[in-house]
Amino acid sequence: MISYARQTHEEQPDAALPPVEEHIAPAPRVSVQAFCETVETAAAVQSAGEDRRLGKAHLKIQMGGMAAAIEAYRSAPTPNVIVLESDGRNDLLSGLDHLATVCDAGTRVVVIGRINDVMLYRELVRRGVSDYVLAPVGAIDVVRSICNLFSAPEAKAVGRIIAVVGAKGGVGASTISHNVAWAIARDLAMDAVVADLDLAFGTAGLDYNQDPPQGIADAVFSPDRVDTAFVDRLLSKCTDHLSLLAAPATLDRVYDFGTDAFDAVFDTLRSTMPCIVLDVPHQWSGWTKRALIGADDILIVAAPDLANLRNAKNLFDLLKAARPNDRPPLYCLNQVGVPKRPEIAAAEFAKAIESQPIVSIPFEPQIFGSAANNGQMIAEISANHKSIEMFLQIAQRLTGRSETKKQKSSLLSPLIDKLRGK
């Protein structure tokens, strides 16, 4: 008997496309070998291997199905995961029994088949098959199946990474990321952490009125020490639900990083925090590109001018192409309505990017300046400010939480409001 790891599933496998808000945790560094019978399935598996969530996995694809798998492992060790395509029922079961004689203990098996039958599924589970996916499959079906092998299905999904980046310097991306994180923690009651990735000039510590002695730099420059306990010591608590991984904001060293410099930090945060908000600086390097592509959701912040429009479209197009199985990035307009400044209308942005901005935040230097100078969030300065509802709307979209439906107003609403005010 093959020592496959089992996974809890519904009684009937479902190969339908996932909902827009589905969260799939990335797979760890594992080896995956697929044995396909059709070119369509091979193409889907190949596309899945290019998905960001399988970025750490080593994927190899061969044709020949079950027979090729049995032959391959007669003289070679089996990988962490085997993906098998099979058209038949009897051949599949007998093939699995044969594969058991050459398969290493601990290998997990995903079967792609065309028979939608509960009895077959139960028989596969009895033999220890990890997952059964009904063909035809798309890339996201393969991604979901492999990634779910390494996350406990009964556990609450954790580690949703949200990246916020400005289309141009000075557009207020950091301010928005900090206020959105505040809304996630306060209004959605989710435990969240803000990771300030601008190590030289980061403002998260100032905005949250925190001055921790340690922060994200200690983790980046000591990757071998990074684990849950180490990162916990670096976190600065802002509220009951919000923590900060602050940037040193000093110039006593040069912050030149390799492409994977933040991987250990992000992986550790994913394992402990339900929501991680990355305040990504406006620069283009290997690690910033990797952080953006690897995020679960992305918010681009742009001001209403031509340079922002060009940069936002470039970012949007690149990230959309690099993440074909994710929803497209979101973007918002900020600092809208600066007196005497010619601006590009939101409709023109939407036409060029082929997507509507999630919100347009007006230019209000008095309240935003006061909040920045006092180390406070907008909600702390003015509890009823209109931008607070916009931050909550962004938070809901980025975290996959359904938007709060407003009750329809009636003819008596003004009278009721007055009575409540009294």
The pLDDT value recorded for residue 283 is 94
The pLDDT value recorded for residue 157 is 46
CA distances from 106 to 5, 6, 109, 172 (A): 7, 10, 10, 49
Q: How far apart are CA 345 and CA 143, in angstroms?
A: 39
The pLDDT value recorded for residue 259 is 94
Q: Above 60 in pLDDT, residue 291?
A: yes
State what percent of residues in the chain have pLDDT above 90: 64
Rg, Å, the chain Cα set: 25
Cis status, amide bond into 136, omega within 30 of 0: yes
User: What mean pLDDT do residues 195-206 have?
Assistant: 96
pTM given for the model: 0.78
Least confident range from 25-34, 86-95, 105-114: namely 86-95
Q: Are 180 and 186 in contact (CB under 8 A)?
A: no
The pLDDT value recorded for residue 402 is 56
Q: How far apart are CA 58 and CA 69, in angstroms?
A: 17
Q: Are 304 and 349 in contact (CB under 8 A)?
A: yes
Spell out the residues 6+ positions from residue 324 whose beta carbon is closer than 8 angstroms to its own.
Answer: 47, 50, 51, 139
> Higher model confidence: residue 419 or residue 233?
233
Closest listed residue to residue 238, CA positions, set 188, 190, 201, 192: 192
Q: Above 80 in pLDDT, residue 275?
A: yes
Chain centre distance of CA 307:
27
Which of the given ranges, 92-96, 256-260, 308-312, has the highest pLDDT on average?
A: 308-312
Q: Above 80 in pLDDT, residue 219?
A: yes
407 band by pLDDT with thresholds 50, 70 and 90: very low
User: What mean pLDDT do residues 93-115 have?
Assistant: 86
Q: Above 70 in pLDDT, residue 250?
A: yes
Q: Are 77 and 49 in contact (CB under 8 A)?
A: no
Least confident range from 32-46, 148-162, 190-204, 214-228: namely 148-162
Q: Above 80 in pLDDT, residue 22?
A: no
Largest interatomic CA distance in the chain? 82
> Higher model confidence: residue 158 or residue 244?
244
> Higher model confidence: residue 6 or residue 78?
78
The pLDDT value recorded for residue 51 is 93
The pLDDT value recorded for residue 90 is 67
Q: How confident is the prediction for the chain on average, in pLDDT?
A: 87
Q: How far apart are CA 176 and CA 332, in angstroms?
A: 10
Residue with tokens 């990988």: 79
Spell out the residues 6+ positions from residue 400 whose beta carbon is closer than 8 angstroms to its own.
Answer: 21, 23, 160
User: What mean pLDDT do residues 273-296 have?
Assistant: 95
> Higher model confidence: residue 106 or residue 374?
374
The pLDDT value recorded for residue 99 is 87
User: What mean pLDDT do residues 10-25 have?
Assistant: 54
14 band by pLDDT with thresholds 50, 70 and 90: very low
User: What mean pLDDT do residues 340-362 have?
Assistant: 96
State what percent of residues in the chain have pLDDT above 70: 88
Q: Above 80 in pLDDT, residue 406?
A: no
The pLDDT value recorded for residue 102 is 83
Residue 196 phi, psi (nearest 5): -85, 110
Residue 232 phi, psi (nearest 5): -60, -35
**Span 86-95, pLDDT tens digits:** 887 767 888 8
